[in-house]
Amino acid sequence: MSHKSGTASYKSEVQIGPVIKRLKVRSDFLRIAADRRNWAAPGLVLQVSETPKETYNRDSLRIGYTASRKVGNAVKRNRARRRLRNVVQKVMSANASCGKDFVIIARKSTVQRPFLDLINDLETALKKLDSWKVNHKNNINNH
């Protein structure tokens, strides 16, 4: 048995919700910022814009992460981005509506903010920006 055959098993996990793709091109970040739809929470800032028609895929979310020097040194900025990626995996893969591009900006408090508070910050931002996926089962149970 080769080494590669053992590594494929962890990648074959079932994905719940859309695939999360990373935004890496500066023009995408500028386009989303120009749309001026954002929500600032204590632990993060969420920006949202409609996905351009030529790149739209109903089975994926496109998300970019950024942390400026205001967050801290390189170690703190990297930690902040890692924490935001973990929050996105927990929240957005199941609850964010498709057809939108997102940029998540780390704040100075992102590094030390409790993880559950970061999750609440992202959930609140998604709801305020009308990017929360409406799930009919949840609506039936809530009424």
Residues in CB range of 45: below 8 A, 6 or more apart:
38, 39, 104, 105, 107, 125
Average pLDDT, the chain: 84
pTM for this one?
A: 0.80
Residue 57: C-alpha distances to residues 21, 94, 99 (Å): 11, 16, 7
83 compared with 131, residue with greater pLDDT: 83
Pairing type for strands 60-66 and 19-22 reads: parallel
Strand partners, 89: none
Domains of the chain: 17-130 (3.30.230.10)
Q: pLDDT class for 107, splitting at 50, 70, 90? A: very high
Q: pLDDT class for 131, splitting at 50, 70, 90? A: confident
Each residue of 46-82: pLDDT tens digit? 999 988 887 777 777 899 999 999 999 999 999 999 9
Q: Measured between alpha carbons, how far is 102 from 50 in angstroms, rounded to an integer?
A: 9
